[in-house]
């Protein structure tokens, strides 16, 4: 009978599985990257600076859909981006390399989206765009 009472406690104590992060238009999130996915993600003010080891991402509806990223990890990354439309349709979106510097990087797509889902971050030495 003790196993019955311990099972809920074990489920709560299990580590969260890293997964892509969905950022809605108008939101800013700060996160670390673990196993190629956003980790310890939390909403932040658009003016907040990411701490060392974190990335800040803001999504806006500017000329379609725009995402601004600031990387304070010190490593350049390629990543996967998907646009989520008002109808729930998910479309793969081209993304540029996120530079290793803390200078802002911009992603822009002509399609209107209600959110952008990002994940599958991989360290890279080269850059594109």
pLDDT tens profile 54-75: 999 999 998 899 999 999 999 9
**Contacts with 14 (C-beta within 8 Å, 6 or more apart), sequence order:** none
* 6 phi and psi angles, rounded to 5 deg: -80, -30
Cβ proximity of 70 and 49 under 8 Å: yes
**Sign of the CA dihedral 73, 117, 98, 30?**
negative
Q: Domain coordinates of the chain in residue numbers?
A: 18-123
Q: What is the pLDDT of residue 14?
A: 42
At residue 62, the pLDDT reads: 86
* pLDDT lower than 70: segments of the chain: 1-17, 127-128
Gyration radius of the chain over CA positions: 17
Task: Classify 98 as helix, strand or coil.
Answer: strand
The model's pTM? 0.84
Contact 118, 23 (CB under 8 A): yes
β-bridge mates for residue 29, sequence order? 43, 57
pLDDT at 129: 76
């Amino acid at each position: 009978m003790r196993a019955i009472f311990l099972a809920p406690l074990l489920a709560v104590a299990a580590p969260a599985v890293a997964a892509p992060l969905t950022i809605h238009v108008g939101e800013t999130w700060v996160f670390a990257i673990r196993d190629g996915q956003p980790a310890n993600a939390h909403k932040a003010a658009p003016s907040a600076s990411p701490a060392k080891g974190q990335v800040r991402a803001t999504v806006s509806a500017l000329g379609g859909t725009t995402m601004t990223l600031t990387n304070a990890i010190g490593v350049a990354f390629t990543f996967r981006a998907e646009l989520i439309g008002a109808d729930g349709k998910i479309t793969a979106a081209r993304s540029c390399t996120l530079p290793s510097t803390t200078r802002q990087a911009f992603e822009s797509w002509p399609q209107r989206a209600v959110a952008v889902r990002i994940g599958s971050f991989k360290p890279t030495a080269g850059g594109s765009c």
